[in-house]
Amino acid sequence: MPDYASIETTLASIAASSQTIELLRDLHKKALDEPPYVSTDGPASTALDKFVALDPDKCAYVYLLLRSMKARFVVEAGTSFGVSTIYLALAVSQNAGSQPGKVIATENEPTKAVKARKYWSQAGDDIEKFIELREGDLRETLKTDLPEQVDFLLLDIWTPLALPTLKLVKPRMKPGATVVADNTEAAKAGYKDLMAYLEDTANGFKLTTLPYSGGLLVAVYLGN
């Protein structure tokens, strides 16, 4: 039985327009109605017919974390249908005010990118204008034109891409920048290389895993 109550708890934790709230409610219901699927288990092509999205409670956590950090420059690796991107852009828009801010979203599957753009448009211009979608292999699309400083990186992708993504973004991370990776317990074997890198103190991170469904890794960059 889908946990629809978790959707309402999540939506109560964010500051958003009624238009955005209704959209997120609908999108979360679509995701919860899908059979359970760990999005990091395989390449995106194995889930083209699945409405994969970050769990509602994780979305709430990420939104509140970004608000507390006053994060304005975010990279999302693995946008899928763009649900979590709405939370990221909502937080960035509220943090930025009249200052610059951006969420760089990445998606390799054109069909998902089209739907994500549609949902962002429905969320409203005050959210959509903060999102830059880079389509294609993120190992190429994130090589250039990153913000001077990146405050936050969300990893919700096929696990072999997690560490290469972090290594592309890390040179732009300032001390205090945060990395969140989804399903690090459910897909522990796939995240082995990422975990080894983060646990090596020479790389400048401290980390913990929060007890959300499947595990949610949080790592803070202290500099090196």
Q: What is the pLDDT of residue 60?
A: 98
Q: What is the pLDDT of residue 53?
A: 85
Q: Report yes or no: 37 and 47 within 8 Å, Cβ to Cβ.
A: yes
What's the predicted TM-score (pTM) here?
A: 0.93
The domain 4-221 having CATH identifier 3.40.50.150: the answer here is yes
Every domain of the chain and the residues it spans: 4-221
CA dihedral (79, 80, 84, 90) positive or negative: positive
Of the candidates 77, 101, 62, the one whose C-alpha atom is nearest the C-alpha of residue 218 is: 62
Q: What is the pLDDT of residue 52?
A: 73
Q: What is the pLDDT of residue 120?
A: 98
d(CA 130, CA 67): 15
Regions of the chain with pLDDT less than 70:
1, 35-50
